[in-house]
Amino acid sequence: MKKFNVVILGATGAVGIEFRKILLERKFPIDNIRFLGLSTVGKEFDFGGRKVKVEPVADGCFKGFDIGLFSAGGDISKKVARRAAEEGCVVVDNSSAWRMDPGVPLVVPEVNPDDVDWHKGIIANPNCSTIQMVVALKPIHDAARIKRIVVSTYQAVSGTGLKAIEECMIQMKDIVNERPISQRKVYPHQIAFNALPQIDVFLDNGYTKEEMKMVNETKKIMGDDSIRITATTVRVPVLYGHSESVNIETEKKITPDEVRELLKKAPGVTVIDNPAKGEYPMAINAAGKDDTFVGRIRADESIPNGINMWVVSDNIRKGAALNAVQIAELMIQKGLIK
> What 8-state DSSP symbol labels residue 239?
S
Q: Is the dihedral of CA 254, 255, 258, 262 positive or negative?
A: positive
What residue type is 195 in one-letter code?
Answer: A
Q: Quote the CA–CA distance of 337 and 93 in Å, as a whole number.
A: 16
Strands in 306-313's sheet, in edge-to-edge order, are 228-235, 146-155, 242-250, 306-313, 292-299, 269-271
Beta carbons within 10 angstroms of residue 169's beta carbon: 15
At a CB cut-off of 8 Å and minimum separation 6, what does 300 contact? 247, 249, 306, 307, 308
61 is catalytic: no
DSSP letters for 67-110:
EEEE-S-HHHHHHHHHHHHHTTPEEEE-SSSSTT-TTS-B--TT
- Strand (E) positions, the chain? 4-9, 30-36, 44-47, 50-55, 67-70, 90-93, 122-124, 146-155, 228-235, 242-250, 269-271, 292-299, 306-313
Identity of the residue numbered 235: R
Between CA 107 and CA 249 the distance in angstroms is 24
Task: Name the active-site residue from 61, 89, 128, 168.
Answer: 128
Catalytic residue annotation: 128, 242
